Amino acid sequence: MTPQPTLSETPVLQPEKGQKNIEVPITQPAKTQKPTQPPKPKVKASTKPQSPASTPAYEEKTTQPNKQKDEPKAGAKNNDGKVYVPGFGWVEDQGDNKGNTSESDGDWNKQVGSMD
């Protein structure tokens, strides 16, 4: 008689050893309850039913556009010498724009260094 494997042992299949019949205890799966249907939403009863041939009637409402914030215009200056830039707020005035000339020959594809 061969010893039965215990639950702590895992049977190992080794075809080269010649053992052909291995019994593994099988447990029955636990029974689970059937899923329940979610509750159906309640339909609100309207006060006056409308026929499908008529167009729906809506209450008239007056709407007002959103009031815009009182923001200064772009480039406005305040008493502190700051300039208003939309999206950034009040920033320090840096003066007029300055431009420089370049000493490049215009070839943007020029190799700048050596690639050793």
Residue pLDDT, tens place only, 51-70: 677 777 788 888 888 877 78
2-11: Cβ within 8 A, 24+ apart: none
**What are the phi and psi torsion angles at 91 (to 5°)?**
-125, 160
Q: Which H or E run includes 15?
A: none
- 76 close to 85: Cβ distance less than 8 angstroms: no
pLDDT for residue 84:
92
pLDDT for residue 11:
61
* pLDDT tens, position by position, 26-49: 888 888 888 888 888 887 766 666
Q: Per-residue pLDDT for 76 more than 70? A: yes
Q: Where are the alpha helices (DSSP H) in 1-116?
A: none
Residue 90, beta-bridge partner list: 84
pTM of the full predicted structure? 0.30
- 82 close to 90: Cβ distance less than 8 angstroms: yes
Q: Which amino acid is it at 93?
A: D
